[in-house]
Structure 1
Amino acid sequence: MTQLECLPYGVGHADEGVSLLVRMGPYRILLDCGLRDVSPLSQQNSDLAHPADLVLCSHAHSDHARGLLALHQAFPNLPIYASEVTTQLLPLNWVGESVPQFCHALPWRSPVEFFDGLTAELFPAGHLPGAAVILLTYTPPPASTEEQRSYKLLYTGDFFLSNSRLVEGLRLEELRGLEPDVLIVEGSYGTARFPHRRQQENQLTERISRAIAEGRSVLLPLPTLGLGQELLMLLRSHHLFTGRDLNIWVDGTVAAGCDAYLDLLPHLPSAVQNFARHQPLFWDERVRPRVRHLLPEQRSQIAAPCIVLTDLTVDLNEFCQSEASWLVLFPQQSSQLEIESKEISSFLAADSGRVTVEFYLLAQHCDGPSTTQLIHNLRPQHVLFVHGSPTYLSDLTGLEELHNRYHLHSPSIGGLVELPIGETFLQPAPPDNSYEGELAELGTVVTITLPDAIMADPRWRTLADTGLIEARWQGEDLVLRGLHQRELLNLGNDRLPIWADGTLKDCCSNCRHCRGQRCWNPSSPLFNFKVTLDGYCPVFEPLILATEIETSDLEDESDR
């Protein structure tokens, strides 16, 4: 049997990056190199000339590519490959450094043979221009005594099934029924379920629009590539902003990323190319809203209200030198609900009365249902989950619909994963991520009692931050969501509970479909309209708020 195995050097937990060494027969293929320190690669293979036979990079985000330059400098003869667009975007990971052209371009949907019997083929993965799903195929030589068949391994990198503003989503029809022996797939969002991408965009633009109408400036700290360019295109083309007398300033490496996208225009979706035929894609001082470069010395001098897109690494206090009132919107991370508190605290220290911090979701990865959809369409034998917090990946490996059909793995750094094909393989028991509790109806309240074991999960801290939760029905299931302190502070006039005779009044303020003082219930005659807090419609659905979660040991509870 051909040897198939995977040795992870980085699996994308927290900020460690992704780097996976795959062995197929006699060949070693390194998938991505997002390591900050590449020394483990040379130490592990000190007896070999190179740590791998070749390197394939899925896309240009730093957590997948930042170690490639150091790897090339350590092993100049080690071949590195990626899609054509990725080769052009890679230098943005080392701004200010002299970067040689060390990465070779591969075509889309065309198998390339690197060694006898080993081929690679790239498919567009969505997520970011140039991002690729990599299909590796190894066919043993005819003289081999092994069964004459090909072995296939598919690596998704970061992928997204939905279309975004500047990237078309992964086309499932290109991969459906591929039946790879091994699938290495990202699990950034675990089993979470998110609204449609367009709905996320509308919620974000509505929030920004209200802040501007209130005379506040909006600050958006962003990574160099991907989200910043998506947001800029969204603000330029959304109906809430087209023609609006407003300045949008773009700062630092986010601006460099925009310039790089302009060189990639022929590779962007046709709708984007049509847009660019009539007006500039990004930089435009003629058409409103105006989009301009922001120089470092201008950060404390820009007139309010305005929108600023800047680097995540910039000292945000530089923008607080003026008297403007700021709404700071951080992107919600895949494995956490907030940026490191010290970063926010430092910024708020400038003037907490003028600065409000909030978080938004504009998904760049697939949620749980989309991830399982991909797996079911591919029908692999082995599935390896990487790129996500350990708890999120554990949620995926614990899904019964996957556990009953596939051999699931969630590898750790340095843990060799052997991938036997066509042999009897006992699936290990899935991790137990469920908790049994009790419900008690006590007059006008309902108490949910859960065992204290739930507090061992690191996500408990976020859920129980304020002791308040929001509950909503999802089919026959009741979904609980913790309310964060900052979220309660930012409710302000957006949702003011109105009480009547000790009970919540049936009004828009207390309806679960009211967000941003706008109705989002498609069944309502007020759908997509701005509503008053005391408004009402026949399809009102109450917001269940301030339900207490009590934790205790169930056996002790039953004894009492």
Structure 2
Amino acid sequence: MRDNLSAHSRVDTQETATELECFPYSVQHNNEGVCLLVRMGLHRIMLDCGMADISSLKESVSKSSELPADLVLVTHAHPDHARGLLSLHQAFPHLPIYGSEVTSKLLPLNWLEQDPQTIPQFCHALPLRSPIELDDGLVVEIFPAGHLPGAVAILLTYTTEQRIYKLLYTGDFFLSNSRLVEGLRLEELRGLDLNVLIIEGTYGTSRHPHRRNQENQLAERINRAIADGCSVLIPTPALGLGQELLMLLRSHHHFTGRDLDIWVDGAVAIGCDAYLELLPHLPPSVQNFARHQPLFWDERVRPRVRRLQSEHHATMGKSPCIVLTDITTDFNQYCQPDTGPWLILLPEKIDVKVKKEYAAPTTIESYLLAQHSDGPGTTQLIHNLRPQHVVFVHGSSSYLADLTSLEELQNRYHIHSPLPGTRVELPIGETFLQPAAPETNYEGELTELGTVITITLPEAITADPRWRQFADTGLIEARWQGEELVLRGLTQRELLNQNSDRYITPDLDCCGTCRHQRGQRCWNPASPLYNFRVTLEGYCPAFERGSGNSQ
């Protein structure tokens, strides 16, 4: 067998080693991207290369004639999984790189700063759902994983004289259908007799509303902003979310036929062009839509969708409009003086830098339009595949710890959540002692003193990196969820938005004086605004006067 998995994890050839090992160069804990090296017997397979700096891969090569792996498999074209591939190819031009056909066409969008003519076609396309023997005894098969056009889950099968080993790497996956991508089909993966599952844990154990509910809540918020005379600025990544939002705005009943301009700028517009080239690979419903009207660019059918040009900046925002742009752009170029108020909507789980003030009045809020499966979706996939080992990657350390501590997983599988640079041996059919689950529950005390209630928690809770965000302002919001009381820390952004609202007179019937309004959200199940963020001067028929609402 080969004498090393990497320069950091040498194996003595005189010792008997396990047939399966995983060495994570990067696991997306701090937005550094995902890059894993898997050893199956004699074969070394690199899974994704999302690192911007591949120096650690170069250092792992002990001889000038060696390669860091025998081959590379890429799950999809998002930067955190693919941005290091071009540098990897330039450093090791003889290293074969494989992905789906769609991924091979989308990869160049990771290097828009370079001339497209200078980027070689280094990614070899693999067919979907077709086992391909890439090396002696090593077979790869890819399955659509949802999340993004071309995204795949990778099944590796390694056959020896003694037994067959199977490993599945999900990359980023989504069980639900979205506007432009069909979800991962569980029925295609059941019954694989899987040994190892390497799976993402982006959302930890969080539970999300149904995808359509998320879309409707977002569409309703944008609709109310437009009705209030606000323009809406939505920064997104170049691929995936931006195109999903555009299709939502094109087809949702709040916007169809509406006299409204939707402007698309920067790399998001380039991503739209790339999607148009991939139309035969998109779902049948999308292809049918495109037969009757343009998928994206359309100035004839309302709402009008236009590519933003420099000459449009002078008039943009004079009347309410919607702008989709890059997450890295300077928003000041849109929020200009005399353009009216703006609502800036930031996607959850994506880091977007914003300023406290812009030249035009702005309100900054976040929204959820999930591109990954939530906690129940993640555990559903695991229970359907029933592997011996589950390796969690791609997520904050806190969220991954939440998943690894789930009793329903601890009792059934060998659970791993490795740090970068830590080799994980994956023995098959051997005794494995599961380490103790990390502590996630904290016992405290509750004291009632007249009109004040004090909840005391142990200091150990502050060791969790989420505590800093929770306690940022020192203010919390409490609400009932069934029989449980849920506490949530209020952020600086929420306080700034609340303080910016004008004063509401106590005798006015509106959301600002309704007893069901808390934290500028409606918590009355009988109201059509239930669970929506509300303007304090708004009103609905379910209004009930409160005695001391906070504004």
Calculate the TM-score normalised by the size of structure 2.
Answer: 0.88
- Give the deviation of 1:115 after TM superposition: 1.0
1:263 maps to what in 2? 277
Residue by residue, what CA displacement relative to the aligned partner does 1:85-113 show, whole Å, maximum 9, x if unpaired? 11111111111332111101111111111
Higher mean C-alpha displacement, 291-300 vs 425-434: 291-300
AA of the residue aligned to 2:334:
F
Mapped pair 1:227 → 2:234: no
2:175 to 161, 166, 170: 161
- Give the deviation of 1:369 after TM superposition: 1.3
Residue by residue, what CA displacement relative to the aligned partner does 1:357-383 show, whole Å, maximum 9, x if unpaired? 111111111111111111111111111
SS of structure 2 residue aligned to 1:377: helix
For the residues of structure 1 that align with 2:342 and 2:415, how far apart are their CA atoms? 46
1:480 maps to what in 2? 487
For the residues of structure 2 that align with 1:444 and 1:88, how far apart are their CA atoms? 64
Residue by residue, what CA displacement relative to the aligned partner does 1:127-153 show, whole Å, maximum 9, x if unpaired? 00010000001001x3xxxxx221011
Map of 1:456-467 to 2, 5 A cutoff? 456-467=463-474
2:6 maps to what in 1? none
1:380 to 368, 387, 392: 387
1:328 maps to what in 2? 344
- Give the deviation of 1:528 after TM superposition: 10
AA of the residue aligned to 2:93:
P
For the residues of structure 2 that align with 1:99 and 1:315, how far apart are their CA atoms? 28
1:7 to 13, 17, 23: 23
Mapped pair 1:44 → 2:60: yes
Q: Structure 1 residues 497 and 323 mapped into 2: Cα distance closer, same or farther (>3 Å)?
A: closer
Mapped pair 1:136 → 2:152: no
2:18–2:426: 8 Å Cα contact kept in structure 1?
Answer: no
Map of 1:108-119 to 2, 5 A cutoff? 108-119=128-139
1:556 maps to what in 2? none
- Give the deviation of 1:455 after TM superposition: 1.7
2:12 maps to what in 1? none
Mapped pair 1:289 → 2:299: no
- Give the deviation of 1:56 after TM superposition: 0.3
2:97 to 80, 84, 87: 80
- Give the deviation of 1:525 after TM superposition: 8.2
AA of the residue aligned to 2:413:
Y
Map of 1:406-425 to 2, 5 A cutoff? 406-425=413-432
AA of the residue aligned to 1:17:
G
Map of 1:33-432 to 2, 5 A cutoff? 33-47=49-63, 49-95=66-112, 96-97=114-115, 98-140=118-160, 142=161, 148-296=162-310, 298-302=312-316, 303-324=318-339, 325-333=341-349, 339=352, 343-345=353-355, 348-351=356-359, 354-432=361-439
Identity, % of aligned positions: 67
Q: Structure 1 residues 70 and 296 mapped into 2: Cα distance closer, same or farther (>3 Å)?
A: farther
Residue by residue, what CA displacement relative to the aligned partner does 1:235-267 show, whole Å, maximum 9, x if unpaired? 010111111101000001100000110111111
Higher mean C-alpha displacement, 314-323 vs 384-393: 314-323
1:554 maps to what in 2? none
AA of the residue aligned to 1:387:
H
How many residue pairs match? The answer is 524
For the residues of structure 1 that align with 2:373 and 2:208, how far apart are their CA atoms? 9
For the residues of structure 1 that align with 2:103 and 2:548, how far apart are their CA atoms? 47
For the residues of structure 2 that align with 1:72 and 1:407, how far apart are their CA atoms? 35
AA of the residue aligned to 2:303:
P
Higher mean C-alpha displacement, 262-271 vs 313-322: 313-322
- Give the deviation of 1:443 after TM superposition: 4.2
For the residues of structure 2 that align with 1:199 and 1:57, how far apart are their CA atoms? 32
SS of structure 2 residue aligned to 1:93: helix
For the residues of structure 1 that align with 2:390 and 2:363, how far apart are their CA atoms? 42
- Give the deviation of 1:173 after TM superposition: 1.4
For the residues of structure 2 that align with 1:76 and 1:543, how far apart are their CA atoms? 71
- Give the deviation of 1:513 after TM superposition: 10
1:447 to 446, 454, 463: 454
SS of structure 1 residue aligned to 2:384: helix
Residue by residue, what CA displacement relative to the aligned partner does 1:153-190 show, whole Å, maximum 9, x if unpaired? 11000001111111111111111233411111001111
For the residues of structure 1 that align with 2:344 and 2:528, how far apart are their CA atoms? 33
AA of the residue aligned to 1:320:
C
Structure 1 unmatched runs, 5+: 143-147, 547-560
AA of the residue aligned to 1:219:
L
Structure 2 unmatched runs, 5+: 1-16
AA of the residue aligned to 1:3:
E
Residue by residue, what CA displacement relative to the aligned partner does 1:215-235 show, whole Å, maximum 9, x if unpaired? 221111111000000000000
1:512–1:543: 8 Å Cα contact kept in structure 2?
Answer: no
1:16 to 25, 32, 51: 32
